[in-house]
């Protein structure tokens, strides 16, 4: 199944615009423009889009941040980040850097300063005249979640959320992108959603989860719904269980303040993992459009019952890493990381067993695990099929043969592997498990777009398919809240430990092994 790609097509360029669409002229306003997300991800992504996927000439980027800075200082800072964080093969030459810089503008203000938003409104009107952005605005909140409410309120007060008419008939558009986390529990998520709804309509609101921009996540839909050999088997009659793993080899870095508040369940399970689970388990949508797909995702989460206290105790494992070795380097324990409280009970690892109570997935367990300081960086979905009803071969002939598994590798080596049994050449009837492997890079010879590139492009053309809808957020928090509330009544020693560089605590192994199954380790 592995395909050989000729060298001349191995670096073929992808396209980010759907069905030949290109965005209308617009201004992208980034709040928190001097922060880490903007410098590492947004600016390099926008620079690459402007250079390799030409945006309209009537396009500009406006920074809104607290730090006093002129346009020229902001442009120098932005180019420094672009040169530092852009992929080596995407580096801009001097001419391209100059063209990018000419589209950068700066507006200095505190997030709670009403006059600053009026200053922003005046700047955007001037750019409409000078750059021809036609009143189209994309606001990106690359800011700490504690500032979201204030920014949303101020945008509404300044009239910046309204979609206006140009030349009396053509309507401009205004959209807002919100970064996760969307609240820290159901109550705060509902409050944030109400605040958004008072200022922006739901079709103006784009809640971004960068995992949804990954090519392989999107290909879950293609794998299931475009192939007649998979969808008929995608149910409880043929599938034994499903595993979702999101493993990170890195620790918390400089994010101690955030991570102490979130832990692994808020940081990964509530958003990334729930989204992948929904795409894996959802029913076929009636159409390939935003609302139809998101309707089916919400149905999946509504079919997952909240966990009782007893279920939390038996079907969840939480742990944190101790000192160990990762990639040949000694790393400190979580409690020794800078900014972590000595008596912290924050988990860096979570393993769960969930059930989806509907006809398709009745009695099929979904095993989930995610953690930091694990041996490798890997995100995979494994579908394990049931064994054959009657084994014709002797146990001695099938020693080591594992059940059929379909593994979707989301990162880092995007692809799909199907594991099946085959006879070893020779006279003996000896079977062994073999892999049929498919690699996106080798098969298509195309550089997959970065997740942020895909999502920014979709926001510019108004396609919200890969963004999170209000009811999705709240349905996810209902499940996660039940787990967090269950943990609150459990003793501190229920937070287990695992050495950095291992695949987690023994309790996580026991969680799946007591069901007669085992983790499919990447």
Check which CATH number belongs to the domain holding 96 and give it. 3.40.50.720
Task: Using alpha carbons, list the distances in angstroms from residue 316 to 29, 190, 320, 348.
Answer: 41, 25, 14, 13
User: 426-456, pLDDT tens digit by residue?
Assistant: 756 777 778 888 887 788 776 667 788 889 9
Cα–Cα dist 151/509, whole Å: 45
Instruction: Examine residue 137 and state whether it is found in any structural domain, yes or no.
Output: yes
Percent of the chain topping pLDDT 70: 93
Q: Which residue has the higher pLDDT, 201 or 55?
A: 201
Which pLDDT belongs to residue 288? 85
Whether pLDDT at 315 is above 70? yes
Out of 179, 201, 232, pick the residue that ends a domain. 179
- Which of 451, 459, 442, 466 has the alpha carbon at shortest distance from 221? 466
412 prior amide bond cis, ω within 30: yes
Report DSSP letters for 148-201, one per residue.
HHHHHHHHHHTTTT---EETTTEEP-EEEEEESP--SSHHHHHHHHHHHHHHS-
Report residue 391's pLDDT band, with 50, 70 and 90 as the boundaries.
confident
Instruction: Examine residue 470 and state whether it is found in any structural domain, yes or no.
Output: yes
In contact, 112 and 150? CB cutoff 8 Å = yes
- Encoding tokens for residue 423? 């006879």
Residues 86 and 226 in one domain: no
Using alpha carbons only, give the angle 461, 111, 264 rounded to the nearest 5 degrees: 70
Instruction: Examine residue 10 and state whether it is found in any structural domain, yes or no.
Output: no
Which pLDDT belongs to residue 447? 67
Output the 3-class SS for 101-132: HCCEEEEECCCCCHHHHHHHHHHHHHHHHHHC
Name the strand (E) or helix (H) holding 26: strand 26-31
Task: Using alpha carbons, list the distances in angstroms from residue 242 to 354, 371, 408.
Answer: 10, 18, 11
Output the 3-class SS for 322-334: ECEEECCEEECCH
Task: Give the residue-averaged pLDDT of 193-210.
Answer: 95
Residues 123 and 267 in one domain: no
Instruction: Examine residue 501 and state whether it is found in any structural domain, yes or no.
Output: yes
Whole-structure pTM over 0.85, yes or no? yes
Whether pLDDT at 392 is above 80? no
- Which of 483, 276, 472, 305 has the alpha carbon at shortest distance from 382? 276
Report residue 129's pLDDT band, with 50, 70 and 90 as the boundaries.
very high
Mean pLDDT of the residues in the chain? 89
Whether pLDDT at 1 is above 80? no
- Which of 355, 363, 369, 403 has the alpha carbon at shortest distance from 383? 403
User: 250-270, pLDDT tens digit by residue?
Assistant: 999 888 888 999 999 999 999
Residues 446 and 497 in one domain: yes
Give the number of residues written for the chain: 522
In contact, 410 and 276? CB cutoff 8 Å = yes
Cα–Cα dist 259/334, whole Å: 11
Cα–Cα dist 404/388, whole Å: 10
Cα–Cα dist 479/402, whole Å: 32
Instruction: Examine residue 193 and state whether it is found in any structural domain, yes or no.
Output: no
Which pLDDT belongs to residue 10? 41
In contact, 30 and 46? CB cutoff 8 Å = no
CATH number of residue 366's parent domain: 3.30.360.10
Residues 272 and 384 in one domain: yes
- Encoding tokens for residue 203? 């079709």
User: 169-179, pLDDT tens digit by residue?
Assistant: 568 899 999 99
Out of 163, 179, 195, pick the residue that ends a domain. 179
Catalytic pick from 53, 272, 390, 496?
A: 272
Residues 460 and 323 in one domain: yes
Strand partners, 168: none
Which pLDDT belongs to residue 6? 38
Task: Give the residue-averaged pLDDT of 223-239.
Answer: 93
Residues 315 and 246 in one domain: yes
Across 22-37, b (16+ Cβ under 10 Å) vs e yields: ebbbbbbbbbbbbeeb
Which pLDDT belongs to residue 90? 74
- Which of 163, 162, 139 has the alpha carbon at shortest distance from 151? 139
Report residue 3's pLDDT band, with 50, 70 and 90 as the boundaries.
very low
Report residue 424's pLDDT band, with 50, 70 and 90 as the boundaries.
confident
- Encoding tokens for residue 15? 């396209």
Task: Give the residue-averaged pLDDT of 314-337.
Answer: 95
Which pLDDT belongs to residue 8? 39
Which pLDDT belongs to residue 387? 86
Which pLDDT belongs to residue 234? 96
Residues 154 and 91 in one domain: yes
Task: Give the residue-averaged pLDDT of 446-471.
Answer: 87
Strand partners, 408: 381, 416
Instruction: Examine residue 202 and state whether it is found in any structural domain, yes or no.
Output: no
Residues 290 and 161 in one domain: no
Helix (H, G, I), strand (E, B) or coil at 507: helix
Instruction: Examine residue 198 and state whether it is found in any structural domain, yes or no.
Output: no
Whether pLDDT at 196 is above 50? yes
Active site annotation includes 390: no
Domain that holds residue 150: 23-179
- Which of 83, 77, 151 has the alpha carbon at shortest distance from 113? 151
In contact, 134 and 58? CB cutoff 8 Å = yes
Which pLDDT belongs to residue 4? 39
Residues 167 and 72 in one domain: yes
Residues 233 and 174 in one domain: no
Cα–Cα dist 337/166, whole Å: 54
In contact, 499 and 332? CB cutoff 8 Å = no
Residues 175 and 219 in one domain: no
Whether pLDDT at 17 is above 80? no
Cα–Cα dist 242/353, whole Å: 10
Residues 347 and 402 in one domain: yes
- In this structure, what is the dihedral angle of CA atoms 153, 156, 161, 163, given to the nearest 10 degrees? 160
Out of 179, 200, 231, pick the residue that ends a domain. 179
Task: Give the residue-averaged pLDDT of 178-198.
Answer: 95
Cα–Cα dist 410/403, whole Å: 21
Cα–Cα dist 110/105, whole Å: 17
Task: Using alpha carbons, list the distances in angstroms from residue 4 to 274, 438, 440, 467.
Answer: 35, 11, 11, 34
Domain count, the chain: 2
Instruction: Examine residue 199 and state whether it is found in any structural domain, yes or no.
Output: no
Whether pLDDT at 9 is above 70? no
Report residue 377's pLDDT band, with 50, 70 and 90 as the boundaries.
very high
């Amino acid at each position: 199944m592995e395909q050989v790609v000729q060298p001349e097509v191995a670096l073929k360029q992808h396209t980010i615009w759907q069905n030949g669409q290109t965005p209308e002229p617009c201004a992208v306003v980034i709040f928190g423009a001097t922060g880490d997300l903007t410098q590492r991800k947004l600016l390099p992504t926008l620079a690459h889009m402007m250079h390799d996927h030409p945006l309209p000439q009537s396009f500009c980027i406006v920074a809104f941040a607290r730090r006093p800075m002129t346009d020229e200082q902001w442009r120098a800072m932005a180019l420094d980040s672009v040169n530092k964080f852009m992929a080596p093969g995407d580096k801009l030459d001097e001419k391209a850097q100059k063209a990018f810089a000419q589209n950068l503008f700066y507006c200095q203000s505190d997030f709670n300063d009403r006059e600053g938003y009026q200053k922003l409104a005046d700047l955007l009107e001037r750019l409409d005249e000078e750059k021809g952005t036609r009143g189209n605005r994309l606001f990106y909140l690359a800011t700490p979640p504690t500032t979201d409410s204030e920014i949303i309120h101020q945008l509404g007060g300044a009239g910046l959320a309204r979609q206006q008419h140009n030349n009396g008939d053509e309507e401009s558009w205004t959209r807002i992108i919100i970064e996760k986390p969307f609240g820290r529990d159901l109550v705060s998520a509902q409050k944030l959603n109400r605040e958004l709804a008072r200022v922006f309509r739901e079709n103006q609101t784009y809640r971004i989860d960068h995992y949804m921009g990954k090519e392989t996540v999107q290909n879950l839909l293609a794998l299931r719904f475009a192939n007649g050999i998979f969808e008929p088997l995608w149910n409880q009659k043929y599938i034994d269980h499903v595993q979702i793993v999101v493993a990170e080899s890195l620790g918390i870095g400089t994010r101690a303040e955030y991570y102490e508040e979130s832990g692994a369940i808020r940081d990964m399970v509530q958003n990334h993992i729930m989204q992948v689970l929904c795409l894996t388990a959802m029913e076929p949508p009636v159409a390939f459009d935003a609302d139809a797909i998101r309707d089916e995702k919400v149905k999946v989460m509504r079919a997952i019952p909240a966990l009782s206290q007893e279920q939390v105790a038996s079907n969840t494992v939480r742990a944190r890493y101790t000192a160990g070795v990762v990639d040949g380097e000694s790393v400190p324990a979580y409690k020794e990381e800078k900014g972590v409280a000595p008596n912290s009970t924050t988990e860096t690892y979570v393993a769960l067993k969930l059930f989806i109570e509907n006809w398709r997935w009745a009695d099929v367990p979904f095993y989930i695990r995610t953690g930091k300081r694990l041996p490798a960086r890997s995100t995979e979905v494994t579908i394990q099929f049931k064994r054959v009803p009657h084994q014709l071969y002797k146990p001695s002939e099938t020693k080591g043969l594992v059940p059929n598994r379909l593994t979707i590798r989301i990162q880092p080596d995007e692809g799909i592997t199907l594991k099946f049994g085959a006879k070893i050449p020779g006279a003996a009837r000896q079977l062994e498990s073999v892999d049929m492997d498919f690699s996106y890079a080798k098969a298509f010879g195309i550089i997959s777009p970065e997740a942020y590139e895909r999502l920014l492009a979709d926001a510019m053309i108004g396609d919200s398919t890969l963004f999170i809808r209000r009811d999705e957020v709240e349905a996810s928090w209902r499940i996660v809240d039940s787990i967090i509330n269950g943990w609150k009544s459990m003793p501190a020693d229920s937070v287990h430990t695992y050495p950095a560089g291992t695949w987690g605590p023994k309790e996580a192994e026991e969680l799946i092994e007591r069901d007669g199954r085992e983790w499919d380790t990447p």
